[in-house]
Structure 1
Amino acid sequence: MGDGVLTVLVVDDSALMRRRIADLLVEAGFRVETAATGEEALARLPEVDPDVVTLDITMPGMDGLTCLARIMVEHPKPVVMVSALTGAGAGETLEALRLGAVEAVQKPAAGSIGRIGEELVETVRAAASSRPRRVRGLRERLRLARARIVGEDFVAPAPPPPSVAAAGEVEGVVLVGVSTGGPSTLEDILPLLPAGFPWPVVVAQHMPVAFTATLARRLDEMCALSVVEVERATVLEPGRICIARGGADVELARRGGRLQAVCVPSSPDRPWHPNADRLVTSAMRLLPPDRLVGVLLTGMGNDGAASMAELHARGGRTIAESEDSAVVFGMPQDLIRRGGAGVVLPSDRIAGQLTRWLPTAARRAGPASGRKD
C-alpha cells in the first residue's frame, strides 16, 4: 500500500487460529487480512495483493494444497504453510514445498506461543523478501537441466588433483547446507547426479524431525543414487546421499577405519538444525580440503557460510547458489560476501558443475536416468 508496512493474508478455517496468527503478526508490525476458505483466499488475492500468504494445509472444501497450486499459477506470492508438523502430515507438507511454498511452520497452539510464534514471525518476514518459484513438472525441470549439463554452457576452472585416499576409504565427500526452499531446490540437483558419481553426499537440510525420513524416501524415488536418512551411524560410500535427521545435527566420524555420518544431539548454541557449519567443521577435521566440496543453497540466516568460507580459504572447492534461483538468498549470499564461494551458480547447474569436478565415474556412466536400474 506504499507505506512500507508488509501485508499478510492469513488463510485458515479456524476463527481462533486466524485470530491467534493475526495477533502475532500485528504485534510484529505487519498489516493482516484474513480468509476462512481457499475459495475466499483466491477471491481476495487480487484485492489485498499481500506480500505473504500464510495457508493452512487442512481445510474443508478447497484444501491447502489445491489452494497453493492455484496461487502459484494464478497470482504467485510467497506462501508459508501453517500445519501441525507431524509425521502423519509430512507427505502433504513436503508436497506443499514442492509446489512452491517457501516454508512450513508449526501452528501456534494455545499455551505454546513462545518460540513457535517467534519462528512464524521470522519466517513470514523472510518470505516477504523471497522469490516465489513457478514450479514446472519435475520431468520438465530435469529435461531442461540435463540439456544445460550436456551442452556444457559453463565451465569452472579445473581443480588440482586430489590427495590420495587411504585404502578402503572414500575419495572425498560433498557437503550440502540448505534451508528455506530446500526440498524443491534439492530436486533441481540430486536427481541429476549420475549413478557413477564417485563421492558420497551429506545434506544438512534445516527441517523438523517429522519430515526428513519422508524427504529421503521421495528423493530416493527420483535419484539414480541411493538416498537415506541418517537416523544412526551411516557409512559413507559412493552412490549414497545421506539426509541428516531433522531436529538433530550431523557430523562426520571415522569408526573402524570407515568414514561415517553420525546423528548427534543438536547444539544449543547454534540456531539452525541440522546444522551445516557443524557438519563442515567436522569434515575438515577428518579430510584434507581437496577431498571436500561444500555446496551452500537457499535459506535465511548464515548457517554454513563461515565453515565453507574457511574450507575455500584452505583450498577446498565451494559452490554458492546464485540469487537467480535462490528462494531466500541469505545463506549463499553470506558465503559470497565472505569471499568463500569458488563458483556461483543457479540450482539447476550445480549438478553439472559437480560432475565436472568429479568426472571419472560420472562421465563413464553418462547423464542420470532419474531412477535406479
Structure 2
Amino acid sequence: MKILVVDDSALMRHTITDILSDLPGAEIQTSRDGVDALHKLNSWQPDVITLDMNMPNMDGMTCLSHIMSERPTPVIVISSLTEEGALVTLEALYLGAVDYVCKPGGTVCNGLHELEHTIKSKVLNAVTSKVTPTSIDASPHSEPLPPAKPVKPGTAAMVNRRGLTIIGVSTGGPGCVERLARQIPTDYPQPVIVCQHMPESFTEAFAKRLDKVLDIPVHEISGATELKAGQLYICKGDRDCIVTERNGKIVALPTPLDNRFTWHPSVAKLVESAHRSLRADGLICVMMTGLGDDGAEEMAKVAQDRGIVLAQEPHSCVVDSMPKSLIKRCPSVTTAPPEELGRLLYHRAKSFPSEVSYGVN
C-alpha cells in the first residue's frame, strides 16, 4: 500500500508518517506542497493520499482538483475544526475527497498521535473506497419529476401528518445527499431529517450550503424543532438527535451523546425514537453511503413493520458498508443511486395516507 503524505509542515509530515509506518505493507513518501504531490501522483502512483489544505505554491484544494482530473485517487483531507476549516473540508468532500481527519489543535498539531487509531482506520478504509469526483448534475437518463406545486397556506399541519423521512449517511455523504435532495420538490409531503456523521462545525456548514442550493428550506437542528413538510433538517454534530410527538406535531430534539452507539449523530438512535413515536406506517427511511452499520438494524425493524425503507445502490457509494448492512438484514429493500432515490422518495411519500397515527398501540 503506497501512501503519500502531503503537508507543508515537516513536523506534520513526520508525525503522520510515524503513525502510518506500521500499517501492513505500508510504503510512504511525503510532499511539502501540491506541486510535488502532483509529480509523485504520476511518477510513484500512490494508493491513498493524506492532504493538508493550507500549503504554499499550490494549496490543497487546487491540488485535489488536479488529482481528481488527472488520476483519481482516494484522498483524506487533514483539516482543522475551525469554521473556515469546516467550509474548506466540505468543499473538498464535494470535489471528491473520501474522508477527513480533524486536527485537535491548530495548523501544526503536537497532539495528532491522539488520533492514531482514527487516522490508520481511515487510511485503510480509503484504499478500498470508490473515488467518484462529485457531479451534482442529475443523470441525463433520468426522467424529470412533475413540476413542484407550492403547499397552500394553512395546509402544513395536515401535510405533516403524512409522517417523516429519515436519511442515514456517513463517509462520502455530502455530495450524495445533495444529489438526492435536489430531486425533492417544494410540495414534498413530509419533513426530511438527514443524520450525517460529522462534527458540529461541519454540520452547520453543510446545512448552510444545502440551504443555498436546494429549492426547499434547510435547517440545522440546534434545539427543540418542530418538523414541517417540504423542509430538510440536518442533525447537529457532536450530539445525538431524537424524534418525538407533541400535541400532534413532530418535534426533533438534540440530546447528549449516547455511549451505546459508536457513531454520532446516531442514525440508530434517531430511527429508534421515530419508530417508537410515529410507528412504521409514518416512516420512510433511506440508508446511504458510509462506513459501519449505524441504523441498519433499526431500519430493518421499520421494514418489518411495513414502513418504507430504501438504500443507496452499493456501487454508487463511496463506502458501501452502511447500505450493505441494511441489505443483509432486509434483502428485499429497494436500491437506487442518489438521484433516483430522490424521485422514489417523492412518489412513495405521495402514496402515504393523509393522516398517520402517532404513538405506541
- Regarding TM over 0.5, the answer is yes
Between the aligned partners of 1:151 and 1:353, the Cα distance in structure 2 is 10
Can you give the 5+ residue segments of structure 2 that lack an aligned partner in the other structure? 147-156, 353-361
> Residue 160 of structure 2 contacts residue 191 of structure 2 at CA under 8 Å; is this kept in 1?
no
2: CA distance, partners of 1:149 / 1:263? 37
Structure 1 equivalent of residue 58 of structure 2:
62
**Conserved 8 A contact 1:191-1:219:** no
Write the mapping of 1:167-186 to structure 2, written as runs, cut at 5 A: 170-186=161-177
Equivalent residue, structure 2, for 1:125: 124
User: How far apart, CA to CA, are the structure 2 residues paired with 1:248 and 1:242?
Assistant: 15
* Distance (whole Å) between structure 2 residues aligned to residue 288 and residue 112 of structure 1: 44
Q: Quickly say closer, same or farther: Cα 1:151–1:210, change in 2 above 3 A.
A: closer
Q: Which whole-Å CA distance do the structure 1 matches of 2:75 and 2:350 have between them?
A: 39
CA contact (8 A) 2:80 2:86 kept: no
Q: Which residue of 2 aligns with 1:332?
A: 323
Q: Which residue of structure 1 lines up, in the alignment, with residue 357 of structure 2?
A: none
The residue aligned with 1:36 is 32
C-alpha distance in structure 2 between counterparts of 1:225 and 1:294, whole Å? 19
Letter in 1 for 2:60: G
Give the C-alpha shift of residue 266 in structure 1.
Answer: 1.1
Which residue in the other structure is 2:10 paired with?
A: 15
TM-score by length of 2: 0.89
Counterpart of 2:20 (choices 13, 25, 39) is 25
User: Relative to 1, partners in 2 of residues 1:113 and 1:177: Cα closer, same or farther, differing over 3 Å?
Assistant: same
Pairwise mapping of residues 168-207 of structure 1 onto structure 2 (< 5 A)?
170-207=161-198
Amino acid at match of 1:193: I
Deviation per CA, 1:97-137, whole angstroms, max 9, x where unpaired? Answer: 110101111237324523x221111111111111001333x
Counterparts of residues 47-58 of structure 1 (less than 5 Å) = 47-58=43-54
- Aligned with 1:81 (options 65, 77, 88): 77
Query: Is this contact kept in 2: 1:14–1:36, CA < 8 A?
Result: yes
Q: What is the number of equivalent residue pairs in this alignment? A: 338
- Return 5+ residue gaps in structure 1 as ranges: 1-5, 153-165, 362-373
Q: Pick from 135, 140, 150: which aligns with 2:144?
A: 150
- Counterpart residue type for residue 100 of structure 2: A
Q: 2: CA distance between counterparts of 1:296 and 1:268?
A: 22
Shift of 1:169: 5.0
- Per mean C-alpha deviation after superposition, the further-off stretch among 95-104 and 42-51 is 42-51
2:257 is the alignment partner of 1:266: yes
Q: Distance in 2 between matches of 1:236 and 1:243?
A: 11
- Counterpart of 2:149 in structure 1 is none
Shift of 1:310: 1.1
Instruction: Identify the residue that residue 364 of structure 1 maps to in structure 2.
Output: none
Instruction: Tell me what 1:285 maps to.
Output: 276
For 2:213 and 2:188, the matched residues in 1 are separated by 15
Structure 1 residues 239 and 168: CA distance shift in structure 2, 3 A:
closer
Structure-2 change in CA distance of 1:72 and 1:81 (3 Å): same
The separation in 1 between residues aligned to 2:279 and 2:113, in whole angstroms, is 45
| Separation (CA, whole Å) in 2 of partners of 1:243 and 1:151 | 24
- Please tell me the root mean square deviation across aligned C-alpha atoms, in Å: 2.0
In 1, distance between residues paired with 2:239 and 2:133? 31
Could you give the per-residue CA deviations for residues 160-214 of structure 1, whole angstroms, max 9, x where no partner exists? Answer: xxxxxx9685311011100000111111111210010000001110001111111
Aligned to 2:110: 110
Question: How far apart are the structure 1 equivalents of 2:236 and 2:344?
Answer: 27
Inter-partner Cα distance in structure 1 for 2:112 and 2:15: 11
Residue 290 of structure 1 and its aligned partner are, at CA, apart by 1.9
Q: Indicate conservation of the 8 Å contact 1:298/1:321, yes or no.
A: yes
DSSP-derived class of the 1:149 partner: coil
Query: How far apart, CA to CA, are the structure 1 residues paired with 2:350 and 2:159?
Result: 20
For 1:209, the equivalent position in structure 2 comes to 200
Measure, in 2, the Cα distance between the counterparts of 1:302 and 1:211. 22
Change (3 A) 1:168 1:322: closer
Deviation at 1:328, TM superposition (A): 0.3
- Aligned partner of 1:241: which letter? L
Greater CA deviation, 247-256 or 281-290? 247-256
Tell me what 1:368 maps to.
none
The runs of 4+ residues in structure 1 deviating greater than 6 Å are none
Q: Does 1:244 align with 2:243?
A: no
Q: Give 1:256 shift.
A: 4.1
Q: CA deviation at 1:235?
A: 0.5
Overall identity of the aligned pairs, in %: 38
Q: 1:117 is aligned with what amino acid? A: E
Q: Is contact 2:103–2:112 with CA below 8 Å preserved after alignment? A: no
**SS of match in other structure, 1:263:** strand
Q: Which residue of 1 aligns with 2:154?
A: none
Shift of 1:341: 5.3
